[in-house]
Amino acid sequence: MSKVTVGKKVPDFTLPATGEQDISLSDFKGKNVVVYFYPKDSTPGCTTEGQNFRDKINTFRRRKTIILGISRDSVKSHNNFREKQQFPFDLLSDKEETACKLFDVIKEKNMYGRKVMGIERSTFLIDDKGVLRREWRKLKVPGHVDEVLEAVKEL
């Protein structure tokens, strides 16, 4: 499977998600979709990032934009994380790294002096026709959601 490219249609993918359902990108035809990849449920940076998307959800909804979070954690872990943080959007489990590979977010990271492969925090904005419009890689959490919202407003 080829990797996503800004300006090109994003291939459809389906992953298990919170609420014991499978979610496909194609479920959201006619809406903008923000897909954000994060390393791990219930860690400080990932919690803050999710909370920032949660706190701006009504503004995204007014712009016909869906938020989806993806990590390699299990659906059970996602359900607990989502419930505890009251996220009004679904979290998708990518244990097989299907979407991670499609979006090329698995990178070598340094964890306590050891090199490991993990998700590099990244966000992608897909328009209502399924075309990738923006990508943010190696991002920092503070101010990021506002940046994504500004990009949504430009669509």
- Please give the positions annotated as active site: 46
Give the Cα-Cα-Cα angle 37, 39, 42 (nearest 5 degrees).
Answer: 110
- Provide the residue type at 138 as one letter: K
CA distance 93 to 72: 5
Give the Cα-Cα-Cα angle 74, 76, 82 (nearest 5 degrees).
Answer: 100
- Say whether 5 sits in a helix, a strand or coil: coil
What are the Cα distances from residue 5, in Å, to 2, 11, 92, 115, 155? 9, 10, 21, 27, 17
What are the Cα distances from residue 109, in Å, to 48, 61, 82, 114? 20, 34, 26, 8
